[in-house]
Structure 1
Amino acid sequence: MTRIASFCYRHRLLVVLCWIALTITSIGLAKQYGGPAATELGTGSAQSSQALALFKQHFPRQAADTLTLAVHADRRLDDPAVRTAVLRTVHRLEAADHVASVVTPYQNPRQLSADGRTGYAVATLDVSADKVPAATIKGLLKDLPTGNGVQFALGGTAVDAVETPGGGPADAVGLAVAAVVLLLTFGSVLAMGLPIVTALFGIAVGLSGLELLQNAFPAPSFAPILATMIGLGVGIDYALIIVTRYREALATGRTPHDAVVVAASTAGRSVLFAGGTVVIALCGLLLLGLDFMRGVGLGSAVTVAMTMAAATTLLPALLGFTGRRLAVRRKSAKVPWSARWAGVIARRPVLATVVSAAALLVLAAPALSLRFGMPDASTQPHDTSGYAAQKIITDGFGPGATSTLLVTVELPGADPAAVATEVSRVAGVASVSPAQVSPDGSIAVIAVQPTTGSQDPATTDLVQRLRAVDPHILVGGAAAAAVDFAQLTANRLPFIILVVVGLSLVLLVGIFRSVTLALKAGLMNLLSIGAAFGVLVAVLQWGWLHRALNFPATMPVTAWVPMIMFPVLFGISMDYEVFLISRIRESYVAGGSTRAAVQDGLSRTARVITAGAAIMIAVFLSVMLGADVGVKELGFGLAVAVFVDATIVRLVLVPASMELLGRLNWWIPGWLERLLDSGRPGAMLDLDTVSRS
């Protein structure tokens, strides 16, 4: 880090020009050679994936994407006036680009409700849903008739993509709040701009890399939103920590060159550790065997890696142009509030530890009922056509009408008619369609309508019961795919936790030279993340304040959200932990008592940790302005975890527990210390050594 920082400072113009060239080149390559987004929920070798593959192979025309035109009238649909209105709308749908054919409720009686007042038409597309131009969908939505006692709504994947697009004002809002927080923290426009500029360069290159990687690892359409949110939060935070340490080094009389070296060798090392933890954890998603997650994990990892690279190379170069203009103004003689607070905690460490730990456990308790699922039309904002179409159909045909399960029967292994009869007797089945045999006679497909919707736990249980009916059947369909993905997530999330925690503990022992601090940091991070999961469950599943927080309905936690939350949060928590404990250790090694070291370290870092947390919370909460439910869940969960970590954990639990442990904070077995020293010739480069060099 010392050599890299020194090189970047001395060759600052070259480094800046290289970053500009890299950014322009990567954006150009991404625009020309970027891969397509993933359109399917990959569930590995699960039954739903096998069923889908067979259905596409033997029913290629029926496997095409569709649009659904839902209709509800205050009279029967065969009323002449209603029929005229319906057919007029159907003709407009037939004339739209990429609509191959339309089947109306007048052609298929199964698409007409029992009372005759609700029905739906199915439009088959000649391209995948993501290939339908947004202008086509917007035109169809605009042309939907209103009034005259007839209600029309259009649904489908293509409609959802237009009505609930990613992005929006979130990024701009997050940047604006970050700029305000940085200005208040530094009191300098120049100091405010450096972290933002650094983060934006890293994000631009990272997102370009994501698009290029989609050729090999297709990611869903919301992956760039997640990568931007995570990259913006951690990128500004990393640069903030380095700039803060640089300003402090200038204030001690160091030259700008030496200040850059000290900042990179101390705060920069914290950045590498925290960012490296996030990158490795996100890349670990590649090992889970979930196609849906590979592109998300790898794309987010690349973005975090590039923001980390920008913070440790581009930022030192930019600091070289600022000279001494960023030096900290003369400090006030008044004792900082953080130091006074640390003193209060130190006088009552047992009470502070018990109360803070109990608060975290209470917040985490709802996580015991955590249930995974996937969003669908029922979780869309209620003012969308997609939600209206879903509601019309479920009101007219039953809650499970939009959650059809497709039972694939392998022939000649089983009798389709017998399977259909047995399936109809399973509890939770509302209706069963006659078996449809493929043209080549290889398989038969039976459409099963549940009595419950896809978000209901009873539908998950039904999928499992259907799979036990006959060994020659496969249960698929969108609802079954969501069940499989949720189950795979639940089974493999512990693996992610084990890998991330284990790796982090090993690295923490090396950087802190203490087994106690490493174990304590891991435990506290798990508590803060557990609290975030608990709050998510309370809001989403239990419905606490869900409307005030812009969640349209109660629902399970989106299955991929915890998979992304955990590695990101563990890395962010480690970022703050390393930054805080490193400063405490410096004071302790310099000859201070544990209490004095905690007070000094907290007073030096509280301001920057608070500012960094405020920026991250603002960036993460800004996605709440968007429409994608899963992205909003992730942003809300990350914001809650950062808030808990920066308040309960850093301001109460850390100083209280360190006061209780005393000299045990710095315990490390002699053999382990010798092993660490043997890994590096000479003495280990300690933070206190760097700060006094």
Structure 2
Amino acid sequence: MARWLYGLGSRAAGRPKVVLLVWAVLLALGVTGFLAFGGTLSAQVTLPGTPTAKVVDRLAEKLPAASGGSGTVVFHAEDGAALTAAQRAQVTALLQRVGRLDGVAGTVDPFATTAQRQQQADRLAAAKQQVSQGRTQLTAGQQQLDTARARLTSLPAAQQQSAQVQAQLAALEKQQATLDAGRTQLEQQAGQVDVGGRLLAVSERLRQVSTDGSTALGVVRFTQPQLEVTPETKDAVAAALQGADLQGVQVALSQDLVQEVPEVFGPGEAVGLLVAAITLLVMLGTAIAAAVPIVSAVVGVGVGVTAALSLSGVVDMISVTPILGVMLGLAVGIDYSLFLLNRHRRQLLHGMPMRESIALATGTAGNAVVFAGLTVVIALVALNVTGIGFLGLMGSVGAFCVLVAVAMAVTFTPALLSLLGTRALRRRERAFYERHDDAAEEQRRAQQLQEAAATAGLRPMRTARAAVTLVLGVAVLGLLAVPAASLRLGLPDGSSEAADSTQYQAFELTQRYFGAGFNGPLLVVADLAEPVSEAGQAAEQVRVAERLVQQRDVAAVAPVGVSDDRTLLAFQVVPTGGPTSESTEQLVQDIRALPEGYGVAGSASGNIDVSEQLGGALPGYLGLVVGLSLLILVVVFRSLLVPVTATLGFVLSLFATLGAITAVFQWGWLASVFGITTPGPVLSFLPTIVIGIMFGLAMDYQLFLVSGMREAYAHGTDARTAVTAGVRAGRPVVVAAAVIMVAVFAGFISSDAVIIRSFGFALAFGVLVDAFLVRLLIVPAVMHLLGRSAWWIPGWLARVLPDVDVEGASLERGSSSGSAGSSSSERTPA
């Protein structure tokens, strides 16, 4: 690989304009493909085959009217007073206009619904009174009949046999039959009134106008299921609602009505790139050189992301998928290009010819970049083994963007360096490089001797210091990991949006005036063994509704509909807790656990199912990544304890990162600093993605630092001194690369979308902890304490394992230029 990359770098340096033109064409093709074939991105996370998805499919088959999507619009009087008659009329007219839009099945007018409910309650009250009056009349009539019958039957037997008395008795029996028929009819009416009253009782708290009359909940019903409603339809509805001129009325739309795709690049990301640029400028000392990694990364991101988005027309892709590609493409793209650039500059200062230096940097540092990139790619592609479609797609897109970043580093960067020539150096270094007299050569040899002397004079760290560093480092990581024990997974709702967003305002107003459960009602389906009769339908609905309302944390239950074959009943269940609350999660489980076998759907139920499936896949994926980590590192370092050390360090930094995520996003620590409006469960697929990305990045820095230790040890340096040599050689570039990654990831924390914000925080914190605490402190301390045993490997295993030359050392030894051989301090990170 190293020799092939050497030739690739040489060819790229020889024909730089051709290489740059090829990448320009690829970028143009990506942009063209996106514009021509790109589709819409979904803002919702779903999984086929979940209990919620099965209920939705059954509703679509049996009760299509209840399977259509819907969204809530909140109308609130800005002065806090009750909505006036004129304002109510405006709201009604607006909802009627929205109901006529394409893709909208209709709307629910909160005032009409409230009036109908009141009329129903009035009719029930009147019917109860009629029943009561009827019973009173029947009782009085029965008493009259009984009195008359008693009078006639008390007559002498001879008189009773008279025709007149017999006729009177017959008339009394006829009146009794009429009275009995009336009583039967009245009891039937009483039964209907009782059923209606019981249904009204279980849905008593289900209202659409607040008790003070200041807030109303309208509903927009779509013709298609929620996940199939097109963005165009949602945009049209949102435009009609938000563009209406309702005097003194605030209009807020729920999350189900707003189709928002996070921006790929915003002010926060620009600040992150600026910090990366400053870091590069400080490290490299010249703006031209500092621009090389940034230009390489930006072009690579353009190629990778636009190519991925070109498939969004035929592949369902959630909105965060390309953002992940941007994050990774920028971060690793800058770092990988920096590794080659740094190696090339050092070689130039040792007198290596320009093209030879570019080729050798590509063969050595590029070899390490390829290997490092492949570790990230493998970890991301492995997300497909979770069996979760959108997660595997996110991993595949991220892996593709990393592959593009690797390709950019070993082709685009060498071509750009060739065009820049000596301008990649500082001005004084350029002058020194261009000198070819004896004095300059002597100065170069003196510099090499000084570096060799500095390396020879290295001393190992003190054992006591290593022990204290290890104990304190592990203690800090353990403390950071404590909150992870209470980690809850979920998907964001309106409460997690920005405080000035319409979704947050709708959520907050609904919770304040109606209750948290109105933000995420459940749809419960009851399958009947036998079709229910038309006469018994209401009674069956009451039976199921009362069964549901008896469950803990249920605020109200209302019938939604009955299937045409009368074998399926649907109900709306309003929980007392919000969509992401633990009580709602438990309620879903409780309803599903009932022996009647009820199904549950709705946004809250769907979020719970997605989170549970992702949480179930997490341990297996973590085990796969850990096992992969051990296998790769055993091959690279030909050691057993070094891989174990590296993997344990990765696990420590991972749980510390999960703990920090839990503390900030779930517990609400420093919520105002990170723009968190309402703490809640951690994004359900965040831990899985973080595992894949952090594994790859952690192995990058591990390979760089420990390979330096291994090379020093292999050249005869004492094992503990070799640790110091490796750290000294790798620390400057590791620090710069880590700062760049943290800056790029942190730039996404300012995003308005909570999903992007949580990803930015998790990856920035994870790199910060892993690079500076684990790789630069804990790992060297452990390597020092292990000493020579760190490099022990059984003889039979050493014979079986391939000899992986990660840094292209064989290529370096075979270089035709004697000055080309760089010291260990010049190694480029993997």
Q: Does 1:641 align with 2:641?
A: no
The equivalent of 1:159 in structure 2 is 258
Name the amino acid aligned to 1:16.
L
Deviation at 1:107, TM superposition (A): 2.3
Q: Does 1:463 align with 2:603?
A: no
The equivalent of 1:619 in structure 2 is 744
Question: Equivalent of 1:393, from 504, 510, 520?
Answer: 510
Q: Does 1:29 align with 2:26?
A: no
Deviation at 1:100, TM superposition (A): 5.1
Q: Does 1:123 align with 2:220?
A: yes
Name the amino acid aligned to 2:377.
V
The equivalent of 1:141 in structure 2 is 242
Deviation at 1:349, TM superposition (A): 1.0
Name the amino acid aligned to 1:434.
P
Do 1:377 and 1:386's aligned partners in 2 also have CA atoms closer than 8 Å? yes
Name the amino acid aligned to 1:56.
A
Q: How many residues align?
A: 685
Question: Equivalent of 1:208, from 302, 306, 309?
Answer: 306
The equivalent of 2:294 in structure 1 is 196
Deviations 1:223-268 (A, max 9, x none): 2122111211111111112221222233333333443343334332
Do 2:107 and 2:221's aligned partners in 1 also have CA atoms closer than 8 Å? yes
Name the amino acid aligned to 1:505.
L
Do 1:403 and 1:479's aligned partners in 2 also have CA atoms closer than 8 Å? yes
Q: Tell me how far apart the structure 1 counterparts of residues 50 and 108 of structure 2 sit (CA, whole Å).
A: 31
Change (3 A) 1:464 1:222: same
Change (3 A) 1:343 1:84: farther
Deviation at 1:221, TM superposition (A): 1.7
The equivalent of 2:167 in structure 1 is none
Do 1:42 and 1:291's aligned partners in 2 also have CA atoms closer than 8 Å? no
Q: Tell me how far apart the structure 2 counterparts of residues 83 and 291 of structure 1 sit (CA, whole Å).
A: 45
Do 2:527 and 2:569's aligned partners in 1 also have CA atoms closer than 8 Å? yes
Task: Report which stretch shifted further, 274-283 or 33-42.
Answer: 33-42
Name the amino acid aligned to 1:121.
G
Q: Tell me how far apart the structure 1 counterparts of residues 775 and 459 of structure 2 sit (CA, whole Å).
A: 10
Do 1:65 and 1:125's aligned partners in 2 also have CA atoms closer than 8 Å? yes
Deviations 1:283-308 (A, max 9, x none): 22223232332332222221122112
Deviation at 1:554, TM superposition (A): 0.8
**1:341-490 paired onto structure 2 within 5 Å:** 348-412=465-529, 417=541, 418-439=543-564, 441=566, 443-470=568-595, 472-490=597-615
List structure 1 segments (4+ residues) > 6 angstroms apart after TM superposition. Answer: 330-342
User: Aligned to 1:406, what secondary structure does the other structure show?
Assistant: strand
Do 1:237 and 1:615's aligned partners in 2 also have CA atoms closer than 8 Å? yes
Deviation at 1:341, TM superposition (A): 12
Q: Scaled by the length of structure 2, what TM-score is found? A: 0.77
The equivalent of 1:692 in structure 2 is 813
Identical positions, percent = 35
Q: Tell me how far apart the structure 2 counterparts of residues 398 and 102 of structure 1 sit (CA, whole Å).
A: 22
Deviation at 1:161, TM superposition (A): 1.5
Deviations 1:393-445 (A, max 9, x none): 22222111111111122344697623332111111111111251134545321
Name the amino acid aligned to 1:315.
T
Change (3 A) 1:38 1:159: closer
User: Aligned to 1:544, what secondary structure does the other structure show?
Assistant: coil
User: Aligned to 2:678, what secondary structure does the other structure show?
Assistant: coil
Q: Does 1:581 align with 2:736?
A: no
Deviation at 1:24, TM superposition (A): 1.4
Q: Tell me how far apart the structure 1 counterparts of residues 326 and 406 of structure 2 sit (CA, whole Å).
A: 14
Q: Tell me how far apart the structure 1 counterparts of residues 354 and 267 of structure 2 sit (CA, whole Å).
A: 38
The equivalent of 2:360 in structure 1 is 262
Q: Tell me how far apart the structure 1 counterparts of residues 763 and 215 of structure 2 sit (CA, whole Å).
A: 42
Change (3 A) 1:176 1:358: same
Q: Does 1:666 align with 2:787?
A: no
Q: Tell me how far apart the structure 1 counterparts of residues 702 and 790 of structure 2 sit (CA, whole Å).
A: 14
Q: Does 1:44 align with 2:48?
A: yes
Q: Tell me how far apart the structure 1 counterparts of residues 76 and 364 of structure 2 sit (CA, whole Å).
A: 66
Q: Does 1:107 align with 2:224?
A: no
Deviations 1:537-567 (A, max 9, x none): 1111221101111111111100011111111
Do 1:336 and 1:603's aligned partners in 2 also have CA atoms closer than 8 Å? no
Q: Scaled by the length of structure 1, what TM-score is found? A: 0.91
The equivalent of 2:641 in structure 1 is 516
The RMSD of aligned alpha carbons is 3.0
Change (3 A) 1:216 1:342: farther
Q: Tell me how far apart the structure 1 counterparts of residues 417 and 310 of structure 2 sit (CA, whole Å).
A: 31
Task: Report which stretch shifted further, 301-310 or 349-358.
Answer: 301-310
Q: Tell me how far apart the structure 1 counterparts of residues 458 and 604 of structure 2 sit (CA, whole Å).
A: 52
Q: Tell me how far apart the structure 1 counterparts of residues 239 and 560 of structure 2 sit (CA, whole Å).
A: 36
Q: Does 1:502 align with 2:627?
A: yes
The equivalent of 2:59 in structure 1 is 55
Deviation at 1:186, TM superposition (A): 0.8
Q: Tell me how far apart the structure 1 counterparts of residues 790 and 351 of structure 2 sit (CA, whole Å).
A: 32
Deviations 1:64-104 (A, max 9, x none): 44442212344444x42442343355456457676553221
User: Aligned to 1:37, what secondary structure does the other structure show?
Assistant: coil
Do 1:248 and 1:327's aligned partners in 2 also have CA atoms closer than 8 Å? no
User: Aligned to 2:559, what secondary structure does the other structure show?
Assistant: coil
Do 1:408 and 1:473's aligned partners in 2 also have CA atoms closer than 8 Å? yes
Q: Tell me how far apart the structure 1 counterparts of residues 252 and 780 of structure 2 sit (CA, whole Å).
A: 57
Name the amino acid aligned to 1:592.
T
Do 1:9 and 1:320's aligned partners in 2 also have CA atoms closer than 8 Å? no
Name the amino acid aligned to 1:524.
G
Do 1:217 and 1:294's aligned partners in 2 also have CA atoms closer than 8 Å? no
Name the amino acid aligned to 2:659.
G
Q: Tell me how far apart the structure 2 counterparts of residues 116 and 337 of structure 1 sit (CA, whole Å).
A: 80
Deviations 1:157-216 (A, max 9, x none): 342617x65643233222222212111111122321221122122212211232233355
Deviation at 1:487, TM superposition (A): 0.8
Deviations 1:362-384 (A, max 9, x none): 11111111110110111111212
Deviation at 1:453, TM superposition (A): 0.5
User: Aligned to 1:401, what secondary structure does the other structure show?
Assistant: helix
The equivalent of 2:436 in structure 1 is none
Deviations 1:9-55 (A, max 9, x none): 22433333222222211221222122432454322322011112222
User: Aligned to 2:310, what secondary structure does the other structure show?
Assistant: helix
Larger-gyration structure (1/2): 2
User: Aligned to 1:487, what secondary structure does the other structure show?
Assistant: helix
5+ residue gaps, structure 2: 115-206, 430-443, 533-539, 815-830
Q: Tell me how far apart the structure 1 counterparts of residues 65 and 378 of structure 2 sit (CA, whole Å).
A: 42
The equivalent of 2:820 in structure 1 is none
Name the amino acid aligned to 1:239.
S
Name the amino acid aligned to 1:367.
A
Name the amino acid aligned to 2:743.
A
Q: Tell me how far apart the structure 1 counterparts of residues 56 and 585 of structure 2 sit (CA, whole Å).
A: 18
Do 2:497 and 2:504's aligned partners in 1 also have CA atoms closer than 8 Å? yes
Q: Tell me how far apart the structure 1 counterparts of residues 257 and 560 of structure 2 sit (CA, whole Å).
A: 29
Do 2:324 and 2:398's aligned partners in 1 also have CA atoms closer than 8 Å? yes
Do 1:71 and 1:392's aligned partners in 2 also have CA atoms closer than 8 Å? no
Question: Equivalent of 2:669, from 544, 561, 565?
Answer: 544
The equivalent of 2:720 in structure 1 is 595
Question: Equivalent of 1:564, from 685, 689, 695?
Answer: 689
Do 1:342 and 1:655's aligned partners in 2 also have CA atoms closer than 8 Å? no
Question: Equivalent of 2:274, from 153, 158, 176?
Answer: 176
Task: Report which stretch shifted further, 523-532 or 580-589.
Answer: 580-589
The equivalent of 2:381 in structure 1 is 283
Q: Tell me how far apart the structure 2 counterparts of residues 215 and 25 of structure 1 sit (CA, whole Å).
A: 16
The equivalent of 1:17 in structure 2 is 21
**1:240-319 paired onto structure 2 within 5 Å:** 240-319=338-417
The equivalent of 1:86 in structure 2 is 91
Q: Tell me how far apart the structure 1 counterparts of residues 52 and 806 of structure 2 sit (CA, whole Å).
A: 53
User: Aligned to 2:516, what secondary structure does the other structure show?
Assistant: coil
Change (3 A) 1:267 1:229: same
Do 1:338 and 1:606's aligned partners in 2 also have CA atoms closer than 8 Å? no
Deviation at 1:637, TM superposition (A): 0.8
Deviation at 1:277, TM superposition (A): 2.1
Q: Tell me how far apart the structure 1 counterparts of residues 314 and 86 of structure 2 sit (CA, whole Å).
A: 53
Deviation at 1:129, TM superposition (A): 4.8
Do 1:207 and 1:228's aligned partners in 2 also have CA atoms closer than 8 Å? yes
